[in-house]
Amino acid sequence: MVSTGATWGSSAHGHRVEVRFHGSLGELVVSQRRGHTHPVEVRGHTHRVEVAPGTTVKDLIESLGVPHTEVDVIVVDGTSVGFGHQVADGETVGVYPMAGAVDVTPVLHLQPSPPGRPAFVVDVHLGRLARSLRLLGFDVLWRNDLTDSELAAISAGDRRILLTRDRQLLKRSQVATGYLVRSTERHVQLAEVLARYDLADRIAPFGRCLACNGLLEDVAKDVVAGRLPPRARRDYTEFRQCPDCGRIYWRGSHYDRLATVVEEVRRKARGTGPPTSAP
């Protein structure tokens, strides 16, 4: 229930706190205003909320529509706190995204730093994004039969970053690292992920199988000649093969097209020009 002008004072039924979302997090809250189970007064990106005693700041933030995987720093009355902090009556909560400017010392960062070359698991609805990331050389697990429970378990067990447009999936406590993909357009989705994890200088294209994510290996032409189309067998001498699924790759016209797209993506990720298409 959203209040409409009620006086904000003490409550005999629960704790009343003020929550301020910074940066891009405010946009996530705006789209989730309806359906609250507790009173909320909204003023810009500041939300005055009544919650039950014992409510953690993680539960409070997620009740307003923001998955914990999107939050890097939480400041309560000037002190940086963890997700388990139980909110008290009258507290002011500041919620910051990754790379948000936080004027508090010391700062407790809640999102782990990704490894040098992060690995991803992608939900079933983002198969084209998974293929694009594989083309750029990133380790991406994707299958069209994975359930939400399996995605969460894989993310936790294999320390893979979970990419999804389903905020409820990212709210699962089992998921430690993930990103809520905002756009429905593939080239914008790719740009989002590259920017979020600073991957512009880690692009190493054409090293993975686009079909299954296997690492490609050089293979002699005579080994695969019987499986090649006539033109490829006639015109090309260098081939690579996926040891996992057996798919064969060579530098045909499709390679030149994809190489152009990769360079466009790389320029965009470095801020030197927009891509006109996506792999």
91 lies in the same domain as 125? no
Strand partners, 51: 15
As a dihedral over the C-alpha atoms of residue 214, residue 216, residue 221, residue 227, rounded to 10 degrees, the angle is: 20
Q: Is residue 223 part of a domain?
A: yes
pLDDT at 209 over 50: yes
User: How many angstroms separate the CA atoms of 15 and 35, rounded?
Assistant: 19
Please tell me the predicted confidence (pLDDT) of residue 273: 42
Which pTM does this prediction carry? 0.85
Instruction: Return the bridge partners of 139, or none.
Output: 119
For the chain, helix, strand, coil in percent to 5 are 30, 20, 50
Instruction: Mark which of 62, 96, 130 sits at the end of a domain.
Output: 96
- The count of structural domains within the chain is 2
pLDDT of residue 12: 55
Q: Which of 31, 35, 95 is nearest to 60 (CA)?
A: 95
**Residue whose C-alpha is closest to residue 89's, from 36, 172, 13, 142:** 13
Spatial distance between the Cα atoms of 156 and 202, rounded to a whole number of angstroms: 23
In terms of domains, do 45 and 90 share one?
yes
Domain that holds residue 211: 119-269
Q: Is the pLDDT of residue 80 over 70?
A: yes
CA gap 205, 26 in Å, rounded:
35
Together in a domain, 239 and 156: yes
| pLDDT tens string 169-182 | 999 999 999 999 99
CB 204 within 8 A of CB 197: no
Q: Are residues 168 and 222 in the same domain?
A: yes
Indicate whether 260 and 147 sit together in one domain.
yes
- pLDDT value, residue 3: 33
184 and 65 within one domain: no
Does 109 reside within a domain? Answer: no
pLDDT tops 50 at residue 258: yes
Cα separation, 132 vs 134, in Å, equals: 5
Based on the fold, state whether residues 79 and 144 are members of the same structural domain. no
Residue 160 sits in the same domain as residue 224: yes
Same domain, 170 and 248: yes
Same domain, yes or no: 130 and 166? yes
Question: DSSP secondary-structure letter at 78?
Answer: T
